Amino acid sequence: MAIAAWRLAQRWCPSYLQVISFPVVQLHMNRAAMTASQKDFENAMNQVKLLKKDPGNEVKLKLYALYKQATEGPCNMPKPGVFDLINKAKWDAWNTLGSLPKETARQNYVDLVSSLSSSLESSSQVEPGTDRKSTGYETLMVTSEGGITKITLNRPAKKNAINVEMYHEIMRALKAASKDDSSITVLTGNGDYYSSGNDLTNFTDIPPGGVEEKAKNSAILLREFVGCFIDFPKPLIAVVNGPAVGISVTILGLFDVVYASDRATFHTPFSHLGQSPEGCSSYTFLKIMGPAKATEMLVFGKKLTAGEACAQGLVTAVFPDSTFQKEVWTRLKAFAKLPPNAMRISKEVIRNREKEKLHAVNAEECSVLQERWLSDECMNAVVNFLSRKSKL
């Protein structure tokens, strides 16, 4: 069925996607710039033709969408009818990339092809010093190269909403990054969003022990998740490529540097959702921007532009979206060349005296939230979102 669907889909595909089952070869790409050049892009297109295994329809749709975005820009086709399933799936995949810039789409295409290629290679084939991709993640892309471990939230069709699997995978990736040979770690998002925060469908999977058990386990998960950011030993940089919501905003207070595209916005609609602040924001935001501005965000749900977030100290620097990746990665590559031990020790000196306090704040926020999740205000808000989105 899937193969038949894919064959049908080929009629609407660029020709490079039509040949997709040959022996894999080592990927050689110019990784000198973290924004892919036209040559990298062409190499990646050739590489797709050499994949040994069919990567599956979902990946092919992603490749298709990124290719179209990189070459033509935002989706410009009329939406196919509901019964035209194949073309509708492709249109959806492309359209979901929104106004993602062509260069970013090109880079994401190259990264995706590269991760597909490396997932088919044995580790012994990876030459020392070349780009290393970690496979085994469903919701992330993780690469390590030139002293930088890059963790990319990779559920673009869901605006990188963080489901339970992604919480676990981020923790796993951070633990691995804390021990690998990279000097700095970067968190970013694939697609037009950085992240839409907690995946609200997390509320729907209620275990036999009922919603109380779910709330208790979720509080444990959240505490552990935020704890990983509090304890992360190397410089941690957020590359906020687009809008950020909820927990993806609050944990920014635990990052060492936050770079944002001027397309990014920062929104913590906790009261609207019947919830309360997490990610240590009840402490870090007050320190960063003072109680009144923190209240506007955390209590009244004021959405900040990137410029406003920068003026309030939450964001370190803002760049025009058209040059965002280039400018940010130029800086990051320079940082990664600094002596790693000195950077780690300096971070320790800057952050250590706050750690105990942060863990205490984290514990308190999680325990308050555990109660909030059981409230009518919260349940109603979640049901509203999910029914509007026909998830119930």
**Binding interface with ligand LMJFFPRB (CB under 6 A):** 158-159, 161, 196-203, 211, 214-215, 218, 221-222, 245-247, 269, 273, 275, 278, 373, 385, 389
Looking at the Cβ atoms of 145 and 169, the one nearer to ligand LMJFFPRB is 169
Identity of the residue numbered 260: A
Shortest distance, position 252 Cβ to ligand LMJFFPRB, whole Å: 12
Max CA-CA distance within the chain?
A: 61
Q: Detail the DSSP E strand segments found in the chain.
A: 132-134, 140-145, 148-153, 184-189, 236-240, 244-245, 257-261, 265-267, 304-305, 317-319
Residues 6+ apart with CB under 8 A from 222: 167, 278, 366, 369
Looking at the Cβ atoms of 106 and 158, the one nearer to ligand LMJFFPRB is 158
Looking at the Cβ atoms of 92 and 262, the one nearer to ligand LMJFFPRB is 92
Shortest distance, position 74 Cβ to ligand LMJFFPRB, whole Å: 13
Looking at the Cβ atoms of 146 and 189, the one nearer to ligand LMJFFPRB is 189
C-alpha closest to that of 273 among 299, 294, 295, 305: 299
Shortest distance, position 326 Cβ to ligand LMJFFPRB, whole Å: 26
Looking at the Cβ atoms of 131 and 262, the one nearer to ligand LMJFFPRB is 262
Shortest distance, position 306 Cβ to ligand LMJFFPRB, whole Å: 16
Looking at the Cβ atoms of 164 and 338, the one nearer to ligand LMJFFPRB is 164
Shortest distance, position 239 Cβ to ligand LMJFFPRB, whole Å: 19
Shortest distance, position 211 Cβ to ligand LMJFFPRB, whole Å: 5
Q: How many CA atoms lie within 13 A of 342 on its CB side?
A: 5
Cα–chain-centroid distance for residue 356? 28
d(CA 227, CA 321): 31
Shortest distance, position 15 Cβ to ligand LMJFFPRB, whole Å: 29
d(CA 33, CA 328): 11
Residues 6+ apart with CB under 8 A from 35: 103, 104, 106, 107, 325, 326, 329
Shortest distance, position 302 Cβ to ligand LMJFFPRB, whole Å: 14
d(CA 147, CA 340): 9
d(CA 387, CA 114): 38
Contact between residue 223 and residue 207 where contact means Cβ atoms under 8 Å apart: no
Shortest distance, position 30 Cβ to ligand LMJFFPRB, whole Å: 34
Phi and psi at 54, nearest 5°, equal -65, 120
Place of tokens 């941690």: 236
d(CA 307, CA 163): 29
Looking at the Cβ atoms of 137 and 270, the one nearer to ligand LMJFFPRB is 270
The dihedral built from the CA positions of residue 203, 209, 211 and 213, taken in this order, carries a sign that is negative
Looking at the Cβ atoms of 232 and 270, the one nearer to ligand LMJFFPRB is 270
The residues pairing with 237 across neighbouring beta strands, listed in sequence order, are: 186, 257
Phi and psi at 222, nearest 5°, equal -65, -40
Nearest-CB residue for ligand LMJFFPRB: 246
Looking at the Cβ atoms of 109 and 203, the one nearer to ligand LMJFFPRB is 203
